[in-house]
Amino acid sequence: MLEFDDAPKGLVRLIYASRAQELGRGGLPEMVRTILLKSIQNNRMAAVTGFLVAGEGRFLQLLEGPAGEVEQTFERIRRDDRHGDVQVISRGAVERRMFRDWNMAQHQIVAADRSVLTKVGLTAFTPDGLDEARAVTLLTTFGAQHLR
């Protein structure tokens, strides 16, 4: 999960932030559940792994895998009506996966997460203003909580 593994040529990592759109009846938790179920299925077939953080009507997500598959996955996300104001935080080649065991896992922001947000200079979950280092810190910190 947070272990690194040797990766094949052409491995990329993409981190983006977006705003949730059209939350619907179950709100953000139901939207995340729906996204997660479909993402696990799609990502498994595409050899894409990653982690999604959601809260306060926003998303921060890391995708990693073969370059073409990550780009196709990201294009689906950009066209998805549930995402608005999509902003790429970082995109580039990497040697190893950060979340190798999760086709997609997630963390939903709760009040207890304020100290983690403060650690990267945020007073609220506003990931669109993060640089790559602070986004990775948030993603790996929240990811580590799910390993306990």
How many structural domains comprise the chain? Answer: 1
Hey, what long-range contacts does 110-119 have (CB within 8 A, 24 or more apart)? 110/55, 113/55, 113/142, 116/141, 116/142
Domain CATH for 131: 3.30.70.100
Neighbours of 117 (CB within 10 A): 19
Radius of gyration of the chain (CA): 14
Average pLDDT value for residue range 26-53: 82
Average pLDDT value for residue range 42-56: 89
Domain carrying residue 114:
5-145
Identify the pLDDT of residue 148. 45
Evaluate if residue 2 carries a pLDDT over 50. no
Q: Which residue has the higher pLDDT, 23 or 72?
A: 72
Task: With 0.85 as the threshold, say if the pTM is over it.
Answer: yes
